[in-house]
Amino acid sequence: MTPAQRGESRFAIIASIVANVAIAITKFVVAAIARSTAMLAEGVHSLSNCFDGALLLLGQYRAKRPPDESHPFGYGREVYFWSLIVAIVFFALGAGVAIYEGILHVLSPEPLGNPKWSYIVLGASAIFDGSSFVIGFHQFRREAHGRSSWTTVRRSKNPALFSVVLEDTADLTGLTLAFLGIFLGHTLGLPWLDGVASIAIGLVIAAVAVVMLIETHGLLIGEPARSELMTSVRERAAREPGVERVAGSSSLHIGPEEIVVVLDLVFAADAGAVDVMRGAAAIREDLRREHPDVSRVLFEPVAVEATGSAQRPR
Interval 56-110: pLDDT, tens:
888 888 888 888 888 888 888 888 898 888 888 878 877 888 898 889 889 888 7
Rounded Cα gap, residues 255 and 151, in angstroms: 19
How sure is the predictor about 8, in pLDDT bands with cuts at 50, 70 and 90? Answer: low
The 10 Å Cβ neighbour count of residue 42 is 33
User: What are the start and end residues of each CATH 1.20.1510.10 domain in the chain?
Assistant: 3-221
Rounded Cα gap, residues 221 and 35, in angstroms: 45
How sure is the predictor about 238, in pLDDT bands with cuts at 50, 70 and 90? Answer: very high
Residue 112, pLDDT above cutoff 90: no
How sure is the predictor about 314, in pLDDT bands with cuts at 50, 70 and 90? Answer: very low
Q: What is the pLDDT of residue 167?
A: 82
Q: What is the pLDDT of residue 9?
A: 66
How sure is the predictor about 313, in pLDDT bands with cuts at 50, 70 and 90? Answer: very low
- CATH code linked to domain 227-311: 3.30.70.1350
May I ask the CATH architecture of the domain 3-221? Up-down Bundle (1.20)
Residue 244, pLDDT above cutoff 60: yes
Rounded Cα gap, residues 172 and 133, in angstroms: 9
What 214-219 contacts at long range (C-beta under 8 Å, 24+ apart), as own/partner pairs, is 215/153, 215/154, 215/156, 215/159, 215/162, 216/80, 216/83, 216/84, 216/86, 216/87, 216/159, 217/84, 219/80, 219/83, 219/157, 219/159, 219/253
Whole-model pTM: value is 0.75
Task: Out of 122-131, 152-161, 256-265, 283-292, pick the least confident.
Answer: 152-161
Choose between 197 and 22: higher pLDDT: 197
User: What are the start and end residues of each CATH 3.30.70.1350 domain in the chain?
Assistant: 227-311
Residue 153, pLDDT above cutoff 90: no
